Structure 1
Amino acid sequence: MSLEIPLAFLAIAALAGYFQTVTGFGLGMIVMGATSGLAIAPVASVAAVVSLMTLANSAVALPGKLAHLDRRATLATIAGILPAIMLGVVLLDALSGSAESLVRIILGVVVLYGGVSLVLRPRQRETLSTSASFWVSGVLSGLCGGLFGIAGPPVIYQCYRQPMSLVAIRNMLILLFAVTSAMRTLFVALRGQLDLEILALTGWAIPVVALATYAGRRWPPPLSPLAMRRLAFLTLMLIGGGLILAELG
């Protein structure tokens, strides 16, 4: 592995770790989208690293932040996430060997949808959705998490519909991403797919993500929530659209 690969990966990881801490999401989408667009490493390898990075991010961001989560909604979402993760990993294995271009297009669509969902933010409900609704969002997020280590868009949309505070939504999302990453990592490890390159990239990235997460908690940007949403939208749209155009061009 040349020196340029880990340096570029670490720069992207630092940006993504900070971004996720101040918004509640984005680490996986930024890292997967940017590294795939720049062809820094294979999609399957980066997805494994993203899962481990998300765990590091969550370990710094979550302590003392879980007291106000809705237990019913959280458990229902997790119940949907867990089995779908395994299906996503198996599907990625099947596609990576024969349809790498299709994998990148699907990744671009997922990242693009993550950006669009920020603009098409649904009207907040007056009461919490049913457990079945949270379970379905968990299944869709688990599938995305298994494929790319990105559990974001479906569960983000679901959470922002709920009559919960922004702090509660952000912390619930970080917890769900942590559960997704832990389950995906365990499943990949049991399949013998955590090779030395993945572990090396993770070893370099975790301290960087932890520092970026601390910086996000200590020095959040002086931007309004609306400005943060616009910045997130623009970032994800550029990454997702660029991936799709590169593969179709």
Structure 2
Amino acid sequence: MLVETLVPFMAIIAVATYVQSIAGFALGMIVMGTVTSFNLVPIAFTSVVISTVTLMNSIFIIKGCFSQLNRRIVILTVAGMLPGMFIGLYLLEYLSGSFNEILQTILGIAIIGAGISMILKSPHKERKESKKFTFLCAGTASGILNGMFSMGGPPLVYIFYRQPFTLNLIRLYLLSIFFVSSISRLTMVGLRGELTADMLIFSAACIPVVLGVSWIAKHYPPPISLDTMRKFAFCLLMVIGSSLLY
């Protein structure tokens, strides 16, 4: 049973890693939505594996690029994210018991909302950078979703895609924040004593997949623009989110 579940799980991880390596986001949403749609493993289980593989993917992609970022923006976003993550973990524990259908509905709405928000507008150099408080609020909302589903991307995608940054810089910002959030979430779950042997086995099996796909995406990117990849991710998220609601 473990192998029958692990193989499709790894295939989903591979696709999601490739999309995130190119676009800078969507790994958590693609994996969580697809795995939950097929009912492979529980949401709490998937969240731990996503945190682990997101951590590895982020390390590989942002290595040597952190100097390009405004560290104050990253720190403000993370400062809002950490308390939100506590709230999200509590909600996950509460809803996983008797309200699993509600949990899946929230997941589906979050995925669809993320797809719509990112496709409405593209980054533009003439826009003004948002106020610092905006990044703090986005971090809190992201932390709640991170705690519940290990997919804190939607609020961050919404905010960062409205900044006067290049698409590549936005990708680095998102991956840097995901790096910090993944470490934080794994630490919190570990301190709560909720890590299991199967979670660690799945994570260990998926890490080589993540590293391999990340290397391929970095050295042999697809012959399409980041904007086209973003639109592809949008379509994929719409299908996944709709299937969850259905």
Q: TM-score range by the shorter chain?
A: over 0.9
* TM superposition score normalised by structure 2: 0.96
Task: Give yes or no for the alignment of 1:55 onto 2:79.
Answer: no
Q: Deviations over 1:52-88 (max 9, x none)?
A: 1110111111111111111221111111011111110
Structure 1 contact 32–46 (Cα < 8 Å) conserved: yes
Structure 2 contact 115–238 (Cα < 8 Å) conserved: yes
* TM superposition score normalised by structure 1: 0.95
CA-atom RMSD, angstroms? 1.2
Number of residue-to-residue matches in the alignment: 245
Identity across the alignment (%): 38
Task: Give yes or no for the alignment of 1:226 onto 2:227.
Answer: yes
CA–CA distance in structure 2, aligned partners of residues 111 and 40 of structure 1: 18
Aligned-residue offset at 1:168: 1.4
Instruction: In structure 2, give the amino acid aligned to 1:130.
Output: K
Q: Which residue in the other structure is 1:81 paired with? A: 81
Aligned-residue offset at 1:122: 6.0
Q: Deviations over 1:84-111 (max 9, x none)?
A: 1111011100100110111111111111
Counterpart mapping for 1:184-203 below 5 A = 184-203=185-204
CA–CA distance in structure 2, aligned partners of residues 96 and 71 of structure 1: 36
For structure 2, list consecutive stretches of 5 or more residues without a partner in the other structure: none
CA–CA distance in structure 2, aligned partners of residues 216 and 2 of structure 1: 29
Change (3 A) 1:75 1:101: same
Instruction: In structure 2, give the amino acid aligned to 1:176.
Output: I
| SS of residue in 2 equivalent to 1:25 | coil
Instruction: In structure 1, give the amino acid aligned to 2:130.
Output: S
Structure 1 contact 121–157 (Cα < 8 Å) conserved: no
CA–CA distance in structure 2, aligned partners of residues 192 and 179 of structure 1: 20
CA–CA distance in structure 2, aligned partners of residues 179 and 2 of structure 1: 30
Structure 2 contact 123–165 (Cα < 8 Å) conserved: no
CA–CA distance in structure 2, aligned partners of residues 94 and 122 of structure 1: 37
Task: Give yes or no for the alignment of 1:141 onto 2:130.
Answer: no
Instruction: In structure 1, give the amino acid aligned to 2:214.
Output: T
Aligned-residue offset at 1:123: 6.5
Instruction: In structure 2, give the amino acid aligned to 1:23.
Output: A
Instruction: In structure 1, give the amino acid aligned to 2:174.
Output: L
CA–CA distance in structure 2, aligned partners of residues 2 and 85 of structure 1: 29
Q: Which residue in the other structure is 1:38 paired with? A: 38
Q: Deviations over 1:162-197 (max 9, x none)?
A: 111222111010011111111111000000000011
Structure 1 contact 122–157 (Cα < 8 Å) conserved: no
CA–CA distance in structure 2, aligned partners of residues 126 and 237 of structure 1: 27
Q: Which residue in the other structure is 1:15 paired with? A: 15
Q: Which residue in the other structure is 1:121 paired with? A: 121
Q: Which residue in the other structure is 1:64 paired with? A: 64
CA–CA distance in structure 1, aligned partners of residues 218 and 122 of structure 2: 27
Structure 2 contact 123–166 (Cα < 8 Å) conserved: no
Q: Which residue in the other structure is 1:214 paired with? A: 215
Q: Which residue in the other structure is 1:26 paired with? A: 26
Aligned-residue offset at 1:225: 3.1
| SS of residue in 2 equivalent to 1:150 | coil
For structure 1, list consecutive stretches of 5 or more residues without a partner in the other structure: none
Q: Deviations over 1:7-32 (max 9, x none)?
A: 00000001111110000001100100
Aligned-residue offset at 1:5: 0.2
